[in-house]
């Protein structure tokens, strides 16, 4: 979708000339014949760039710039001024203009070059801002995220789907790293230089979510003093990640379906269709198929979102990843807190391995942050604050180890080697079963 430009110029001939050039280059152009009209249009619409004459009757271009920068500081400005008024243009640059042009133009190409440069700088700053935000979160590297046999298959699928435009639905328990995987799908795609915008749907009410996703026009509701771009517009050209998609209301589901089908929508309170080019990745910890069967989630939307499903296993099914992830978080927080921690005691390491991790990787991260705060040279089991002794295997008293071994072997055979089913049948956790399998050399 072309960038949106507002042209404010009281000379009708010059304004028409500028509009023609810009439209030929694929920009969406809105015209205003004076400063006051320009301010009204600026406040009621979302523009990537404003090109304004400096001297106009009534509200001057400089006054328009000063007001506009306060209302929407992200918008870029180019000032046009007569050849003999360069001093005024410098004043406008100090007030926040990105560049200026002197009239009359020597060549339309001069205008094109200035606009391309200003918009490119804006995109570069946005990309740097997004990268800084991601680096600040210090996500584990891909090799860490995909640790474990089951996650190797997930990695293979991510690498297959990333280069395509297909919608991806990531499912799995809370805390398993669904947003991390979504970011990697984006990072390994042709859209990687464009924005990755995450929206956590469950954190917003129906009205707020609609405004957050689609934006709103000025006056759309109480408090909407200016038009505002939504997340879909901000993600144009890139990827939008909709977390906890199963929580969105039916009215928002209808609008989301239209975005998937037609790649367009209207802002709240608006009637002008806005086209976008973006990829949608969604995530849920619910069974969306069951939600569609019960009527709580639209089946047509479900099939549009679930073009390429990815299922993330809980941490308990990735036992080989527990200690490496714990060590990663230990080093991260030790550096952040300026502490020298050499590692885990033997009992702490065993505790981490035996615990069920109902909160998955998110819980592991939080446990390690607290442990590093409490520990001095080494993380001990008392620093972990986890009840790792709540789960034990079959009663050891009165039951010979040989008998326990034979029972586990028998149930495993009946389950066709499926450890999860065997653990359920034995009435123990999967982690405890895996511990016994290793102990008995099965």
pLDDT reading at 260 higher than 80: yes
Task: Note whether 151 and 310 are within 8 A (CB).
Answer: no
Nearest to 174 by CA among 303, 365, 349: 365
Per-residue pLDDT tens digits for 234-243 = 899 999 999 9
pLDDT of residue 341: 92
User: From CA 3, how far away is CA 9, in angstroms rounded?
Assistant: 19
- CB neighbourhood size of 156 (10 A): 11
Beta-strand relationship, 264-265 and 274-275: antiparallel
pLDDT of residue 93: 82
Per-residue pLDDT tens digits for 337-388 = 899 998 999 888 888 988 889 999 999 999 999 999 999 889 998 899 886 5
H or E element in which residue 35 lies: helix 35-44
Per-residue pLDDT tens digits for 126-184 = 654 554 454 445 567 788 889 888 899 999 999 999 999 999 999 999 999 999 999 99
The SS3 assignment for 397 reads: coil
Per-residue pLDDT tens digits for 66-98 = 898 888 888 899 998 876 666 777 778 878 888
Q: At the fourth CATH level, which superfamily is domain 153-311?
A: P-loop containing nucleotide triphosphate hydrolases (3.40.50.300)
98 CB-contact burial (10 Å; exposed 0-12 / middle 13-18 / buried 19+): buried
Domain range summary for the chain, segments of one domain joined by +? 4-128, 153-311, 316-383, 401-440
For domain 316-383, say whether CATH 1.10.8.60 is its number. yes
Q: Could you please report the per-residue DSSP string of 201-261?
A: GGGS-HHHHHHHHH-B-TTSSTT--S-B--HHHHTTTSEEEEETGGG--HHHHHHHHHHHH
Question: 194 vs 165, 186, 211, 218, 278, CA distance in Å?
Answer: 14, 9, 22, 27, 10
Average pLDDT of the chain to the nearest whole number: 85
When pLDDT is cut at 50, 70 and 90, the band that residue 301 belongs to is: very high
Query: What are the tokens at 45?
Result: 């619409």
Nearest to 427 by CA among 400, 397, 392, 401: 392
Question: 187 vs 70, 76, 101, 144, 198, CA distance in Å?
Answer: 34, 27, 37, 16, 14
The percent of residues in the chain predicted with pLDDT above 90, rounded, is: 43
Beta-strand relationship, 239-243 and 196-200: parallel
User: From CA 218, how far away is CA 133, in angstroms rounded?
Assistant: 29
What residues form DSSP beta bridges with 265?
Answer: 274
Higher pLDDT, 424 or 47: 47
**CATH architecture for residues 401-440:** Orthogonal Bundle (1.10)
Can you state the angle between helices 346-354 and 319-337, rounded to 10 degrees? 130
- CB neighbourhood size of 363 (10 A): 17
Task: Note whether 197 and 230 are within 8 A (CB).
Answer: no
Q: Could you please report the per-residue DSSP string of 101-139?
A: EEESPS-HHHHHHHHHHHHHHHHHHHHHHHHHHHHHHTP
Query: What are the tokens at 158?
Result: 């991510």
Higher pLDDT, 87 or 191: 191
**CATH architecture for residues 4-128:** 3-Layer(aba) Sandwich (3.40)
Backbone angles phi, psi at 415, to 5 degrees: -90, 10
Does 4-128 match 316-383 in CATH topology?
Answer: no
User: From CA 4, how far away is CA 74, in angstroms rounded?
Assistant: 13
Nearest to 376 by CA among 336, 328, 343, 353: 343
């Amino acid at each position: 979708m072309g960038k949106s430009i507002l042209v404010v110029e009281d000379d009708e001939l010059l304004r028409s000339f500028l509009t023609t050039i810009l439209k030929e280059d694929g920009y969406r152009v809105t015209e205003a014949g004076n400063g006051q009209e320009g301010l009204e249009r600026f406040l009621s619409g979302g523009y990537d760039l404003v090109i304004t004459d400096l001297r106009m009757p009534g509200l001057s271009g400089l006054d328009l710039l000063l007001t506009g920068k306060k209302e929407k500081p992200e918008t870029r400005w180019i000032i046009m001024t007569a050849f003999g008024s360069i001093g005024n243009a410098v004043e406008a640059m100090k007030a926040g203009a990105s560049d200026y042009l002197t009239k009359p133009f020597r060549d339309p190409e001069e205008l094109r070059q200035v606009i391309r440069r200003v918009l490119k700088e804006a995109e570069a700053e946005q990309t740097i801002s997004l990268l800084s935000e991601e680096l600040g979160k210090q996500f584990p590297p891909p090799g860490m995220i995909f640790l474990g046999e089951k996650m190797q298959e997930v990695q293979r699928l991510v690498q297959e789907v990333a280069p395509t435009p297909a919608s991806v639905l990531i499912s799995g328990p809370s805390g398993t790293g669904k947003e991390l995987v979504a970011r990697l799908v984006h990072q390994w795609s042709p859209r990687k230089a464009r924005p990755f915008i995450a929206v956590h749907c469950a954190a917003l009410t129906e009205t707020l979510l609609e405004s957050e996703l689609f934006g709103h026009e000025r006056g759309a509701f109480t408090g909407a003093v200016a038009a505002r771009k939504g997340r879909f517009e901000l993600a144009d050209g890139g990827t939008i990640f909709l977390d906890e998609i199963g929580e969105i209301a039916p009215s928002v589901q209808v609008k989301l379906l239209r975005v998937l089908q037609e790649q367009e929508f209207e802002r709240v309170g608006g009637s002008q269709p806005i086209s976008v080019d973006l990829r949608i990745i969604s995530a849920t910890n619910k069974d969306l198929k069951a939600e569609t069967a019960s009527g709580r989630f639209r089946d047509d939307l479900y099939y549009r979102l679930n073009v390429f499903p990815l299922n993330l296993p809980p941490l308990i099914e990735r036992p080989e990843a527990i200690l490496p992830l714990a060590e990663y978080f230990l080093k991260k927080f030790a550096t952040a807190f300026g502490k020298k921690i050499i590692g885990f005691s033997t009992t702490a390491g065993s505790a981490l391995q035996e615990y069920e991790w109902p909160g998955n990787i998110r819980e592991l991260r939080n446990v390690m942050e607290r442990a590093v705060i409490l520990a001095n040279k080494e993380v001990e089991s008392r620093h972990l604050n986890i009840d790792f002794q709540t789960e034990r295997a079959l009663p050891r008293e009165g039951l010979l180890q040989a008998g326990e071994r034979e029972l586990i072997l028998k149930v495993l055979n009946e389950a066709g080697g499926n450890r999860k089913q065997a653990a359920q049948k034995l009435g123990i956790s999967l982690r405890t079963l895996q511990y016994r399998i290793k102990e008995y050399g099965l």
